[in-house]
Structures are given as C-alpha cells and as structure tokens.
Amino acid sequence: MIAIVDYDIGNIAAVFNMLMRLGLRSIVTAKIQDIERASKIILPGNGSFDACMKNLRASGLIPVLEEKVLAQKVPLLGICVGAQMLGTKSEEGEESGLGWLNLQVSRFPDINGLRIPHMGWTEVWAHNKNKKNPLLVDMVADARFYFVHSYYMTPNNPEEIMFSAKYGIEFAAGVSRDNIAGVQFHPEKSHRFGKKLLNSFARGL
C-alpha cells in the first residue's frame, strides 16, 4: 500500500486519483499506523516551504517517517515542495528541512525578464541511466512535465541529480539517493508522463 502523507497542505486528491487510475492501492492518511504499514510513501507539498515544514512537524509524523524511510529503507517520493523538504534548507524561509538529502533550495534568479514562478509544461531529461534507477526506466526523450515553482533544488552531490530541466538556468528537476527520491514537477498533473513515473515508483524503487 502507498501512503500519501496528509499534513494539511492541500492538493493531495490529485495524487490519489492518479494512483487510482493506475490501479494502484493507496491511502491519504495522517495516521501513524497507516504509515507504519505502508510499502511506499509519497510526501506531497504545496505552498511555501516554511508552512509545509511547520505543518509536517505539527502533525507528529516525522518520527515514523524517519523510521520507515531512514531505518527501514521504505521508498519515498517527494513532490514539488515535498521534494524540497528532503533537503537541509530553503531561501524561501527560516525553517530547516528534513535533511534526508544534502541539498539546498534557491530562488530563480532574474534572467532576461523570465516570469517567476516557473509555471507550465517543460521538457525534462534524465541522468545516470547507467545506474538502473527504476524511475528512469520508462523515461522517453521528449518527456515533459507540469511545473509550478519559484525555487529550485541544488544537490551538493551532482550524482544525486536524477532529472534536469531548464528555465533560464538548468536546474535539478528530480533528485534521488537509494530509496529516497524527489521531483520538482507535479507527476499527478503531467498526464502520460506523470503516469509512467508514478507507476515506475510504485512498482520499482
């Protein structure tokens, strides 16, 4: 069962509905017992970094998530701000991140009048295909995903960059290490490309 972590940040139903269309069993939950039973975990994120981190801490779910993800090595996928929260900090606020990945989050620079936030469909390309990452198995050359964000992730270790995209600058659109992965885009809003990625996560990572 896939547990979609509900810590009162909204925009969770779309993830659940996409998994349901794929025939994958999932539950939206804020209960420790459900997360304890989960075989995969999705951490969504929507809004500001500080608000998400404060809500997650207030939920009391971080200890069980750390036990599942860090100790038991249960696969976790962070989405949008949920991916940024896997890192140590963000320029968007004062709260510290989960620190599960060694990455920072920065605001897009002002380049050639590009509008911020970066919003819409953008081509994404994969890295490290030789490492047999399950999330890269079904990626195609023209993969495009839906983005809505003003901040981007920068891993300290470039080998942890799973996907890249470009909006004024090249940035990490996806990161991964071992059982932990995060994507800056919204797979639940990305139609066939998002379906492929979520299906790969559910069946492989």
| 3-state SS class at 104 | strand
Tokens matching residue 24: 């994958």
Taking the C-alpha atoms of residue 43 and residue 181, their distance in angstroms, rounded to an integer, is 10
Buried residues in 174-198 as b, exposed as e (16+ CB within 10 A): bbbbebbbbbbbbbbbbeebbbbbb
pLDDT in tens, 84-140: 999 999 999 999 999 999 999 999 998 878 899 999 999 999 886 645 677 877 777
Quick one: CA torsion of 117, 190, 125, 122, rounded to 10 degrees? -40
Bridge partner list, 5: 29
Block residue for tokens 């919003």: 119
Amino acid at the residue 4: I
Q: 2-203: what CATH class?
A: alpha beta
Asked if residues 185 and 164 have their Cβ atoms less than 8 Å apart, the reply is no
Nearest of 109, 141, 126, 139 to residue 175 by alpha carbon? 126
- 69 sits in the region (left: phi over 0; alpha: psi -120 to 50; else beta) called alpha
Amino acid at the residue 10: G
| 3-state SS class at 42 | strand
pLDDT in tens, 3-53: 999 999 877 999 999 999 999 999 999 999 999 999 999 999 999 999 999
pLDDT in tens, 162-193: 999 999 999 999 999 999 999 999 999 999 99
- Positions marked catalytic: 80, 186, 188
- pTM for this predicted structure: 0.95
Taking the C-alpha atoms of residue 67 and residue 194, their distance in angstroms, rounded to an integer, is 28
Taking the C-alpha atoms of residue 29 and residue 200, their distance in angstroms, rounded to an integer, is 22
| Percent of residues, the chain, with pLDDT higher than 70 | 97
Q: For position 139, what pLDDT does the model report?
A: 76
Block residue for tokens 């490309």: 193
Asked if residues 38 and 94 have their Cβ atoms less than 8 Å apart, the reply is no
